[in-house]
Each structure stands twice: as structure tokens, then as C-alpha cells.
Amino acid sequence: MKRIAENTINRLIVYKKELERLRREDVKNVFSHKLAILSGFPSHLVRRDLMNVGYFGSPAHGYDVVELEKCISDFLCTPESVRVILIGVGNLGRAILDYCQQQNPKISIIAAFDSDKNKVNKIYHGIYTFHIDSIKNFIKENDIKVVIITVPASEAQKIASEIVDSGVRGIVNFTPVRLQLNEDIYIENLDMMLGLEKVVYFVEGG
Amino acid sequence: MKRIAENTINRLIVYKKELERLRREDVKNVFSHKLAILSGFPSHLVRRDLMNVGYFGSPAHGYDVVELEKCISDFLCTPESVRVILIGVGNLGRAILDYCQQQNPKISIIAAFDSDKNKVNKIYHGIYTFHIDSIKNFIKENDIKVVIITVPASEAQKIASEIVDSGVRGIVNFTPVRLQLNEDIYIENLDMMLGLEKVVYFVEGG
DNA sequence: CTCGTATTGTGAATTTTTTCACAACTCAAA
DNA sequence: TTTGAGTTGTGAAAAAATTCACAATACGAG
Ligand SMILES: NC(=O)c1ccc[n+]([C@@H]2O[C@H](COP(=O)([O-])OP(=O)(O)OC[C@H]3O[C@@H](n4cnc5c(N)ncnc54)[C@H](O)[C@@H]3O)[C@@H](O)[C@H]2O)c1
Ligand SMILES: NC(=O)c1ccc[n+]([C@@H]2O[C@H](COP(=O)([O-])OP(=O)(O)OC[C@H]3O[C@@H](n4cnc5c(N)ncnc54)[C@H](O)[C@@H]3O)[C@@H](O)[C@H]2O)c1
């Protein structure tokens, strides 16, 4: 399979989400132009991307909403169910526990971890919180590949190094720390401040 | 001034943050190679980016940490102080109110807005919450250019359209909705689910 | 059936981004 | 002073992403 650019993946995920919505609204077909408006990318890019996933529409009816959604899902290899854990049940961590459950039934946070005795063995938004010391075993026993990190910045590097040893392959990192890891781990840095600074740049200067 | 790519801006912001940290640790000089490791980008890209901002290091000592940080800041036009507002003081909104204040003293959230009577006129993390009905006036009177949106998905489009009318130029959108706006507004979509899905893709499939 | 309209799919051109590779430079040590 | 090690800055090459432009297609109206 041809290696697909990260930007393309981003866009595909957006298309998928919009298709999902169209399906719920019982829309049957959609043209590249419409998908372009919904997603915010130009229509020829939409078509180019769909070429990559190997879905073909009809010049008369555009794309079949259900089929295309399925096709993109398959392409993205979204398995029926992915189990993820979250580390750091603070302000942000709890908000995410709540949010994720509403959003994507295929990706489920199956456990949370914290070092704070007051939080351990509690349930937040339906998810049980274990003590951080048990995390390595948990990752191995449950074959966890993806982890969300929402601990304080000062703890992030240490935690990240440890979980990578246990076999984690991907990290969603909400801390402002750039994690340094030896192995080839996929890291998605979601630093909100960076997003805010970018907007300020484009508004004030660029 | 030459138009700079969004990716470059992203990287510059990361460099700036790492330089800030080096400065606090009292490091005086840094080589492109070191900055590359800290930021996670290759060193020739670091050098190319710094070429863009017009800063020149010395082959012997690399880059002066303080000067380079200043230079990038100036390039990004980061003004001494930018005033931002946040709409939707829910789980996520409150977490952000807290976080932003710790992070970047130059960007300050000066007010929050909500429609819930129980939240209006309250102070969260030191920031006063006004009723949403007063937002248009507030934006105009305080010349607000950047807004953070953390209202429920169902409210996002309506709110966005309204504030754009009042003169807002940039939006940090935490809702999963792709906002449709006529004017040329800079929108930064920070959909966490998208980040998580991307990690799942690269771990499971790509 | 034929025509007109609207859309797709894609080769090719263009633009942008990244990487390569090395001359030029700085300094320290001999 | 001269050499050597290590780094920068950058032209040029390569790779990648995006846009263009249009032939091919499908369908409905007349
Ligand atoms: N609040 C935000 O909106 C926001 C936004 C972006 C990024 N962040 C970042 O996300 C992280 C969390 O932010 P927050 O506001 O939720 O902080 P928080 O202090 O509310 O939560 C941190 C949680 O991590 C736990 N913790 C601390 N050390 C731990 C360890 N070694 N192992 C396991 N758990 C540990 C704490 O007990 C606490 O529950 C921070 O790095 C912050 O910079 C926060
Ligand atoms: N919780 C998360 O981690 C998370 C993550 C990503 C995205 N999001 C998105 O961010 C948004 C907020 O999430 P949340 O968990 O904080 O939800 P929430 O329900 O806790 O908070 C929403 C807030 O918006 C206020 N509000 C509702 N309608 C309003 C209006 N018309 N004007 C002004 N304020 C209004 C509500 O009173 C409430 O205070 C949602 O769109 C959610 O999808 C949340």
C-alpha cells in the first residue's frame, strides 16, 4: 500500500465525520463540491484524496454517502474497536473522558490512571481509575497500543518513557512538553497554546 | 514580507517554546542540531526555518538563545499583549481558562461568556463570566480579534456567525463542527477526536 | 434518440516543501 | 600561524502536495 501523507489522513478523517453526519441526516449522495464546502478543503483535493482511497463515484450522482464512509473507514483501518487508556485524571483528563465516550463508539477509553490516592479507585464518567503503579501490567495484559497523556508537564517525559517500554506505539500528548523517545512511536502533540498562538499570528501578522 | 507556510509557523512556535525553556535553564547558546532534537524536526529544516525569519547564528556558537527567541517572537508579531475571550464555560472551557493563564502571559483571556444563568456573573479561575447576550458589544468595545469556542457542538455555528459579524478575525474551535463562514476568518480546529483517530491510524494501519 | 448540463477521474503542470551537499566561517589548540 | 573539527547558510536537487484543465461519463429533458 502506498504511503499516504499525514495531511491526507487528516482530511480523510474530516470527510468521514461529515459523511457520518450526512448519513444520520439520511442524505444518500454527495458531490465533491458539497463535501468540499463541508470539510473546508477545495473540491479537487477532495477528489484527489478519494482517488487515493480507491473509491469511485458516478458523474451523475457523485458519491454514495454510506459506501464512501465505509470505504474511508476501511482505508483508515479503523478496527471495530480500539482500546485506549488515559493517564492523569485532572481537569483536562476528566473532560476528555466525558467527551470521548460521546464521540466515537469505536474508540473506547477502557481505563484511567492517576497517582493521586484520592482519585485512585474512583469512577469518572464511567471509567475506573487505577493507580499509576499498575499501568505497565495493564498495558501488557490488555495489549494497549494507544495512550492519552494528561498529566502535569513535569511528569510527562517520565510516564512516556515507561509506557513505551511496555509496548505502547502511539501517544496523544496534551502536555506542552515535546516528548523524547528512542523508539519509533507516533506522537500527536495537541498543545492548545500552539493553536492559539497560530491564530494570533495569522490574525495579527500573517 | 514573503508568505510563510502554516507548517513553518507551527515549527517556529515550537522552537520559540523550547528556546524559552533553554533561557529559563540559563543556556546561552544552542546549535541547530540540538534544537532539532528538542523540537522533533530535522536540523536542516530548523536552519531553513531560521533563514526565513532572518536570524543568523555563528558557525562557532550556534544561535544565541535570547536573541533567537526575541527574533522569532518579533517575526511572529507576537504583540506585548493579546486579549482573547472564551465562549462556553463548561468542562473544557474551565480547564482552558486555568491552563492559558499558566502558559503564556502575552495572550490573556480577559472574559468568558455563557448562556447558563448559574454561570453568568461568576468568576472561574479568575476570569469573569458575562451573559452571552452582551458579547457583541463586548467584542466591539474591546476590539477583540480572537475567540475560543467551547460551547456544545449544536451552538457552535450560530455563535461563530454572530461573533464574526462583530469583527472577530480568528477562532480557536474546540467543537467537532466545521464552521461555515463567509468572511475570511482564520479558524484553528482543535478536534481532539481527530488527533486520536490519527494516532490510531498510524499505529494500527499506516 | 440526441443534446445539454453537470460531475467525475486523472495526466500533466505548477507550486511548495524538504532534503542534500558543500563552501564559508569560527575558534581552539598545537 | 596553521590545522582541524564542527557548524552555519544556501543554491540546487528532489520529493511531495496541490491545482489545472479537460476527456469521459451519466442522465434527464425535449
Ligand atoms: N487544562 C487544559 O485545558 C489544558 C490544556 C492543554 C494542556 N494541558 C496540559 O494537560 C496536562 C493536565 O492538565 P490539567 O489542567 O488537567 O492538570 P491537573 O493538575 O488538573 O491534572 C493532572 C492530573 O495528573 C495526575 N498526576 C500527577 N502526576 C501523575 C503521575 N506521575 N502519574 C499519574 N497521574 C499523575 C494528578 O493527580 C492530576 O489528577 C498538563 O500538562 C497541562 O499542561 C491542559
Ligand atoms: N470535553 C472535552 O474534552 C472536549 C474535547 C474536545 C471537544 N469538546 C467540545 O467542546 C465543547 C464543550 O465541551 P464541554 O465538555 O466543555 O461541554 P459542556 O456542556 O460542559 O460545556 C458547554 C458550555 O457552553 C455553555 N453554552 C451552551 N450554549 C451556549 C450558548 N448559546 N452561548 C454560550 N454558552 C453556551 C453551557 O452553558 C456550558 O457551560 C463541545 O462542543 C465538545 O464537543 C470537548
Q: Which CATH number covers residue A131?
A: 3.40.50.720
- Determine, yes or no, domain membership for B201: no
Same domain, B106 and B171: yes
The answer to whether B101 and B126 are in contact (CB under 8 A) is yes
Q: In the block, which residue shows the cell 493507580?
A: A131
Q: Identify the three-state secondary structure at position B97.
A: helix
**Which B residues, 114 through 143, put their C-beta within 8 Å of a C-beta on chain A?**
none
Q: Which residues touch strand C (CB under 7 A)?
A: A 31-33, 43-44, 47-48, 50-51, 55-59, 62-63; B 5-8, 42, 44-45, 48, 58-61
Tell me the per-residue pLDDT of B168-204, one tens digit each, with 9 for 90 and over: 999 999 999 999 998 889 999 999 999 999 999 999 8
User: What pLDDT, on a 0 to 100 scale, did the predictor assign at position A78?
Assistant: 76
Nearest alpha-carbon partner for A85 in A129, A133, A123: A129
Sign of the dihedral through C-alpha B21, B22, B25, B28: negative
Q: Are residues A65 and A141 in the same domain?
A: no
Q: How far is B60 from chain A (nearest CA, A)?
A: 26
User: Which residues of chain A neighbour B147 with C-beta distances below 8 Å?
Assistant: none
Q: Is residue B48 part of a domain?
A: yes
B151 lines ligand 2 (CB under 6 A): yes
HEC string of chain A equals CCCCCHHHHHHHHHHHHHHHHHHHCCCCEECHHHHHHHHCCCHHHHHHHHHHHCCCCECCCEEEHHHHHHHHHHHCCCCCCEEEEEECCCHHHHHHHHHHHHHCCCEEEEEEEECCCCCCCCEECCEEEEEHHHHHHHHHHHCCCEEEECCCHHHHHHHHHHHHHCCCCEEEECCCCCCCCCCCCEEEECCHHHHHHHHHHHHHCC
C-alpha A85 chain-centroid distance: 13
In a domain, B200, yes or no: no
A-proximal residues of B, 12-31, CB under 8 Å: 13-14, 17-18
Task: Specify the pLDDT at position B205.
Answer: 76
What is the rounded average pLDDT for all residues in chain B? 94
Same structural domain, A90 and A168: yes
The reply to whether residue A192 touches residue B176, judged by beta carbons under 8 angstroms, is no
Residue closest via CA to ligand 1's atom 38 equals A90
The domain that holds A55 is classified in CATH as 1.10.10.10
What nine digits make up the cell of B8? Answer: 513553518
**For B146, phi and psi rounded to 5 degrees?**
-130, 135
Phi, psi dihedral angles at B62 (to 5 degrees): 70, -135
Distance of residue B2 Cα from the nearest chain A Cα, in angstroms: 10
Instruction: State which residue of chain A sits closest to B14, comparing Cα positions.
Output: A194
Burial B73-111, CB ≥16 within 10 A → b, else e: bebbebeeebebbbbbbebbbbbbbbbbeebbeebebeb
C-alpha cell at A173: 500528548
Is there a single domain that holds both residue A115 and residue A187?
yes
A202 in a structural domain: no
Which whole number is the average pLDDT over B62-78?
Answer: 92
Chain A CA closest to residue B7? A198
> Smallest CA–C1' separation from B54: which nucleotide?
D9
Band of pLDDT at residue B2, cut at 50, 70 and 90? low
Q: Is A27 a member of any domain? A: yes
Average pLDDT over residues A62-76: 94
Query: Where a domain ends, among A51, A75, A99?
Result: A75
Q: Which of A60, A75, A90 is the C-terminal boundary of a domain?
A: A75
> Which atom of ligand 2 lies closest to the CA of B176?
43
Instruction: Say yes or no: A57 and A101 in one domain.
Output: no
Q: Is residue A25 part of a domain?
A: yes
* Axis-axis angle for helices A91-103, B91-103 (nearest 10): 140
Q: Indicate the residue among B52, B75, B98 that finishes a domain.
A: B75
B132 shares its domain with B168: yes
In a domain, B206, yes or no: no
pLDDT band at A83 (very low <50, low <70, confident <90, very high): very high
**Residue ranges of the alpha helices (H) in B41-134?**
43-53, 65-75, 91-103
Say yes or no: CB of residue B88 within 6 Å of ligand 2.
yes
Which nucleotide lies nearest residue B7, CA to C1'? Answer: C17
Q: Which domain holds residue B10?
A: 6-75
Check whether residue B70 and residue B117 sit in a common domain: no
Q: Is the CB of A192 under 6 A from ligand 1?
A: yes
Element spanning B85, H or E = strand B82-87
Do A138 and A154 share a domain, yes or no?
A: yes
Contact A188/B170, CB-based, under 8 Å? no
Same structural domain, B26 and B88: no
Q: Is the CB of A50 under 6 A from ligand 1?
A: no
The answer, for B100 touching chain A at a CB cutoff of 8 Å, is yes
Mean per-residue pLDDT for A38-46? 97
Q: Do B94 and B50 fall into the same domain?
A: no
The cell for B142 is 474591546
| Whole-number Å distance between alpha carbons of A13 and B195 | 10
Do B54 and B95 lie in one domain? The reply is no
Same domain for A52 and A110?
no
Nearest by CB to residue B203, choosing from A40, A169, A180, is A169
For residue B66, give the 3-state DSSP assignment: helix
Distance from CA of A91 to the nearest CA of B (A): 6
d(CA B171, CA B187): 5
- In the predicted model, is pLDDT for residue A1 greater than 70? no
Does B92 sit in the ligand 2 pocket, CB within 6 Å? Answer: yes
Q: Is the pTM of this model over 0.75?
A: yes
**Mean pLDDT across A184-190:** 95
Would A206 be classed as within a structural domain?
no
Helices (H) and strands (E) in chain B, counts: 8, 9
Give yes or no for residue B34 having a pLDDT over 90: yes
Count up the domains in chain A and report the number: 2
